[in-house]
Amino acid sequence: MNTDKRAKKKKGSKIKPRVAMPMQDPGKRTANFNEVALGYGPEQAAAEALRCLQCKKPTCIQGCPVEVDCKTFIRQVVEGDLEGAFRTINLTNSLPAVCGRVCPQENQCEGVCKLNPTGKPVAIGRLERYVADAFYASTACESLTGGDACPMIDESLKVAAIGSGPSSLTLAGYLASHGIKVTVFEALHELGGVLVYGIPEFRLPKAIVRTEVETLKRMGVEFRLNWVAGKTVSIPELFEQGYKAVFIGVGAGLPRFMNIPGENLIGVYSANEYLTRVNLMRGYKFPDYDTPMPRGRRVAVIGGGNVAMDAARTAMRLGAESVHVVYRRTMGEMPVRREELEHAIEEGVKLEILAQPKAYIGDGKGNLTGLVLQRMVLGDPDESGRRRPHPVEGELIELPVDICVVAVGAGPNPVLTQSTPELRLNSRGYIEADPETGETSMEMVFAGGDIVTGAATVVLAMGAGRRSAKEIARRLGR
């Protein structure tokens, strides 16, 4: 332990710092929806890549749910081989520009980087983003997808993917690269699932998602919009149409409310509604776009996760005078990524911690005017190891607000599961799937992402898509 500490100190002092990420100025960025993190340029990327130790036994690869060969692609960045670096990442990751932006690298590749004990792990996520952006910006992608890099697609080997979020897109990329025809069925009018309706433009520009989808299209993946699996087409019908396997990646997506008085007042929105109006429907451009956006002077967001912070930072950009994030524990227990929390605070979002909503107050005409909060205190740890909050008797606070966004999680969307009784669900309504392959109680029907695990991260859904894709390819002899 002691030697470790000394080593850390000694090592840490010699290690160069991470190359800082260029950012939009906090004062300016709350007035626009443009991306906050601006990305490395070539010199910054090369300098950061040089910090990689090129370990004999790299740990970063195992740290990645989709097993990106970080060591190799970083070496290729040092060598200036952009196309090679992109190919290396793309071998296992169909959405590099997305992952470079929204993965919690601190818990994954960077969390297990040999330099992490010094507090200065290689900025693998930023490098991944650089490679994807720079590669897409050059015309090199055509050389990659123009012919010999992709195998001929066998039209008789058809696989259906339901939902066009990260798990399905990953699966589609893997299977297409193994010569299997994939059709992706999306219920909404735009492709990308949570990447387009959930994650805001300032964190993940929609153009990035479109580029990743275009790459898949050029690989022969087919997309159908406005198809609601379970409604427009059922799973047995897909098999009748000749699909050999079906992957279900429909996400969680059914918003939870808290069941407290006043929840249906005008001004109370689920985070899904609030974010969908802005992101998918471009409500912030109303009336140029038709979908109206609730604009409040005083906004509260309930919850401590990434979605809560996305909603709070969106409210700032829509011109709110004050935005409070209400959370029943303390800042340390918030599940949000540290980086997002820091960005939110820089932008002026305030935290109302140790506070649990008890009721919404209305003006008698149906409009929200305030939130009654119960002051909490932390007690002993619960099963999850986090200290359990307890109410402080008699301590109620009133927070005046005209908009409240509820970001306390989501449940399984029932549309597909209700219409597919053969599909076995767990007690919480999520699909039961084999942890190794994702296969469900229906033969050749696989599932992955939030509809299996409950709300989680983009890259975990991608990992699930990749595992199922490998198994499907194997069973189809590819």
Partner 1 sequence: MYEIIRKRELIPGRVTELLIDAPQVARKARPGNFVVLRLSEEGERIPLTIADKDPDQGTVTIVYLVMGKTTALLNTLGVGDTILDFCGPLGKPTHIERLGKVVCLGGGTGVAAMHHIAKGHFEAGNHVIGIIGARSRDLLLFHDELASFCREMLVATDDGSLGHKGFVTEVLRERLERDPEIREVVAVGPVPMMRAAAAVTKPFGVKTVVSLNPIMVDGIGMCGACRVTVDQRIQFACVDGPEFDAHQVDFDELIMRLGAFYPEERQSFDLFCSCHEHR
- Yes or no: say if 22 and 39 are a contact pair by the CB < 8 Å rule: yes
Residue 75's SS3 state is: helix
Q: Does 260 bind partner 1 (CB under 8 A)?
A: no
Return the structure tokens found at 48. Answer: 């950061």
Read off φ and ψ for residue 115, nearest 5 degrees: -85, -5
Q: Which helix (H) or strand (E) holds 393?
A: strand 387-400
Read off φ and ψ for residue 396, nearest 5 degrees: -110, 140
- Yes or no: say if 175 and 465 are a contact pair by the CB < 8 Å rule: no
Q: Does 273 bind partner 1 (CB under 8 A)?
A: yes
Stretch that binds partner 1, among 167-175, 204-212, 275-283, 466-474 (CB under 8 A): 275-283
Nearer residue to partner 1 within complex by CB, 204 or 416: 416
Nearer residue to partner 1 within complex by CB, 287 or 435: 287
Among 63, 255, 389, 438, binds partner 1 (CB under 8 A): 255
Q: How many binding residues for partner 1 (CB under 8 A)? A: 41
Question: How many CB atoms sit inside 10 A of residue 227's CB?
Answer: 17
What residues between 180 and 209 interact with partner 1 by CB under 8 A? 187-189, 197
The position carrying tokens 């119960």 is: 374
Q: Does 366 bind partner 1 (CB under 8 A)?
A: yes
115 CA to centre of own chain: 26
Q: Does 257 bind partner 1 (CB under 8 A)?
A: yes
Q: Does 314 bind partner 1 (CB under 8 A)?
A: no
Least separation, in Å, of the C-beta of 159 and partner 1? Answer: 19
Q: Does 226 bind partner 1 (CB under 8 A)?
A: yes
What residues between 409 and 448 interact with partner 1 by CB under 8 A? 413-415
- Yes or no: say if 251 and 451 are a contact pair by the CB < 8 Å rule: yes
Least separation, in Å, of the C-beta of 421 and partner 1? Answer: 15
Stretch that binds partner 1, among 6-14, 238-246, 288-296, 374-382 (CB under 8 A): 288-296
Question: Angle of helix 124-137 relative to helix 70-78, nearest 10 degrees?
Answer: 60
Q: Are strands 387-400 and 154-162 parallel, antiparallel or unpaired?
A: unpaired
Report how far residue 461's alpha carbon sits from residue 459's, in angstroms, rounded to the nearest whole number: 5
Q: Does 92 bind partner 1 (CB under 8 A)?
A: no
Among 47, 61, 150, 228, binds partner 1 (CB under 8 A): 228
Contact residues for partner 1, defined by CB under 8 A: 187-189, 197, 225-228, 231-233, 253-255, 257, 259, 263-264, 266, 269-270, 272-273, 276-277, 280-282, 285-292, 365-366, 413-415
